[in-house]
Amino acid sequence: METERIEAPRAPSALAGAGFKPRLRTIGVALFVAAYLAATALVARSDLGVQSLVLVAAVFGILAISLDLVAGMLGLYSLGQGGFFAIGAYFTTIVVNSLGWNVFLVLLIVLAVAGVTGLAVGAMSLRVSGLYFAITTFIFTLVLTVLATDLKITGGLQGLLGPAFPDFPGGLEALGTPVAWCVMLALLLCIGFVWSIRQSPLYPVLLSIRDAERFAEAAGARTSLIKIGVFGVSAAMAGGAGWLFSFLGVVSPGQFDWAVSLNILVMVLIGGINTTPGPVIGAAFVSMFPALVNINPWVQEMVYGALSILAVTLLPGGVMSLLKRVAALGGGAASEAEPAVSAFGGTDAPVEAGLFRKFAAGSAGAARAGVPEPEYAVECRGIQFSYGTGLKVLRDVDLAVKRGHIHGLIGPNGSGKSTLANVIAGRLQPLAGATLIKGVRVDGASPSKRAKLGMRRTFQAAELVRELTPIQNVMVGLFDLMPRIIQRAAFWPFLPSGRRDLAWMEGRSREALEMVGAGAWVGRAVGDVPHGVEQLTQLASVCVAGPDIIILDEPATGLSAREVDHLAEILTHLKAQGVTMIIIEHQTRFLFPICDRVTVLNAGEVILTGTADEVRAHPVVRQVYLGE
């Protein structure tokens, strides 16, 4: 088959006119850093009272950022930050005081120890998700606090006096207190770190792991590994905060107990979860609060309790959401015109055939020229499956999908269609039988591994990140095509290659959305677009990778008649580019005209595979499915 292969990730196609905004951003970043350094100099030369207030707030700022990294971007509400914080502080104090090692060497060790502990805790507690993750990390902090209280080496309840921070080398004394510079620069580094991640293509991937894990998995992301890895980074960051904290005075168990972990969460929620400035604002407010009100300590604690209740009940988005709302009021009426809500935003114009060539099968993948293409794209042999020990949902199912075909999969509700799709995509492992993708056996391979073979899928209920734009969602689909996204995410906007690749990814995602006819909706959040556009975004996020095989799970559900026609046209164009498709669908009027072959399932068994006409004529099918 002759398909035009676009030289992918290298070609910067959509760079024209993109030079202005980055330059403005560079100036903004430079101004911010300059102002920050000036403020640091001011703090470093001010009196000790002010200094300790600001520095403690900055340490908690780092802790809040470390929590927001996992809670905001991945939805993992860790109550273990206090524990990692304690590891950093106690380790530094004990090692520096008793062995006298260089503090910066100790920092490296602390980062490694806290990070590895984080990986271990993460690997263990992510077996159980959601609330259980919070509970397990909570227990981790409980246990560490008990250890710190009861061990001899940690000085019991009184704690230990932290080590002294080394002085500046000669000539730099005019800068003020060295530890102030160290703390403030560390905070700046952490702010820069999360800011870079938010600018990088990793950000939509992380959010999709949080909100739509199956989608991220199907796009080739190894979601559990990413979760554990990010949690390890967050733990290292909290350990680093402990290292800084040990230079600020006494280290004792009360400073790390579970209430501290929850206070860090209060900071994140008050400031604004999943924002870059929010955690820092919240940390500054919470840690400076006692000094600001200066009343009876019990009354002050009561006021604090009341404030944290009010913050989470009345202002779930935190201070940042308030600021955004104020800014929106001030910025006023610059909102875009609403695209017509008719079929797919009024895309009555014929689908633009030219665009499809860019998304032909294998167009963005590795060059596979010379390798003889197998006859069958997907083969299932003797698949058996049941949920738990219950009834067999699939019984000895055989399915062979020829390369370049559109293969329909029909059957009554509960006949095992979606289960079969999940088995092919790797989400479910069959009890018996073999699955082959392009002639290669893939039994036991994870969904992300199968995605790398050029297979993509959509979901019956669209799995997307509702707070991101369609473009950002579609970019998730490019995850496994763009090399080293994770490694580069920490300093993405500062890399020329990062800026170039991001522009390419955005350009290609925009084209994919235009191709499916959702080009008018790229500017708003997916949560605000109509159902049909959501479905198209899902389709675009699949097509953008130029896959060889697409599994579509009830793509026409909930679409209007005109939208269904539009969808059929898109699929026909994709087929012309050599894409193999497996479509699960109930609407035979939509499915039969575009299908090469149709397989009918009933009660977990294949009744028949044939052309649409054969299927339509088959007496059993007429009886059990078409209802005649």
* Interacting residues with another protein (CB under 8 A): 71, 77, 79, 124, 127-128, 131-132, 134-136, 139, 142-143, 146-147, 149-150, 259, 262, 265-266, 269, 296, 298-299, 301-302, 304-309, 311-314, 316, 387-390, 428
CB of 497 to another protein, least distance (A): 37
- d(Cα 147, Cα 153) in Å, to the nearest integer? 10
Q: In whole angstroms, how close is the CB of 471 to another protein at the nearest point?
A: 26
| Strands 455-457 and 440-441, sheet pairing | unpaired
CB of 415 to another protein, least distance (A): 17
Q: Is 92 exposed, middle or buried (0-12, 13-18, 19+ CB in 10 A)?
A: buried
Query: Which residue type, as a one-letter code, is found at position 596?
Result: D
> Which residues on neighbouring strands pair with residue 397, listed in sequence order?
383
In the bound state with another protein, the residue whose beta carbon lies nearer, of 297 and 496, is 297
Phi then psi for residue 441, to 5 deg, are -70, 130
CA dist 321 and 125 (Å) reads: 31
Question: Minimal distance in Å, beta carbon 149 to another protein?
Answer: 7
Q: Where are the alpha helices (DSSP H) in 256-380?
A: 258-271, 277-293, 297-314, 318-331, 353-356
- Nearest by Cα to 140 from 258, 2, 237, 303: 258
Least Å distance between CB 610 and another protein?
32
**Residues comprising the chain, all counted:** 628
118 vs 493, which CB is nearer to another protein? 118
Neighbour count for residue 368 (Cβ, 10 Å): 12
CB-nearer residue toward another protein: 265 or 621 = 265
Burial class for 128, CB neighbours closer than 10 Å (0-12, 13-18, 19+): exposed
The least distance separating another protein from the CB of residue 266, rounded to whole angstroms, comes to: 5
**Residues with Cβ within 8 Å of residue 129, at least 6 apart in sequence:** none
Residue 70 or 248 having the CB closest to another protein: 70
Shortest Å distance, C-beta 402 to another protein: 31
- Min separation Cβ 393 and another protein, Å: 11
DSSP type of residue 169: P
**Cα–Cα distance measured from residue 589 to residue 599, given in angstroms and rounded to the nearest whole number:** 15
Q: Which is nearer to another protein, 135 or 288 (CB)?
A: 135
Query: Which is nearer to another protein, 45 or 127 (by Cβ)?
Result: 127
392-402: strand order across its sheet: 392-402, 376-386, 432-437, 440-441
Nearer residue to another protein within complex by CB, 111 or 267: 267
Identity of the residue, 14 or 126, whose beta carbon is nearer to another protein in the bound complex: 126
Q: Which amino acid is at 233?
A: V
- Per-residue b/e over 298-332, b at no fewer than 16 CB within 10 Å? eeeeeebeeebeebeeeeebbbbeebeeeeeeeee
Phi, psi dihedrals of residue 549, rounded to the nearest 5° = -130, 135
8 Å CB contact between 82 and 255: no
Cα atoms in the 13 Å half-sphere on the side-chain side of 277? 8
Closest CB 50 distance from another protein, rounded Å:
27
* Residue nearer to another protein on the CB measure, 295 or 626: 295
> Are the C-beta atoms of 564 and 570 separated by less than 8 Å?
no
CA separation, residue 555 to residues 448, 474, 516, 558, 626 (Å): 21, 17, 13, 9, 19
- Closer of 312 and 525 to another protein (Cβ): 312
Looking at the Cβ atoms of 284 and 489, the one nearer to another protein is: 284
Minimum distance of another protein from residue 285's CB (angstroms): 14
Nearest distance in Å: CB 354, another protein: 43
Decide whether 262 or 323 has the Cβ nearer to another protein.
262
- Least CB distance to another protein at residue 310 (A): 8
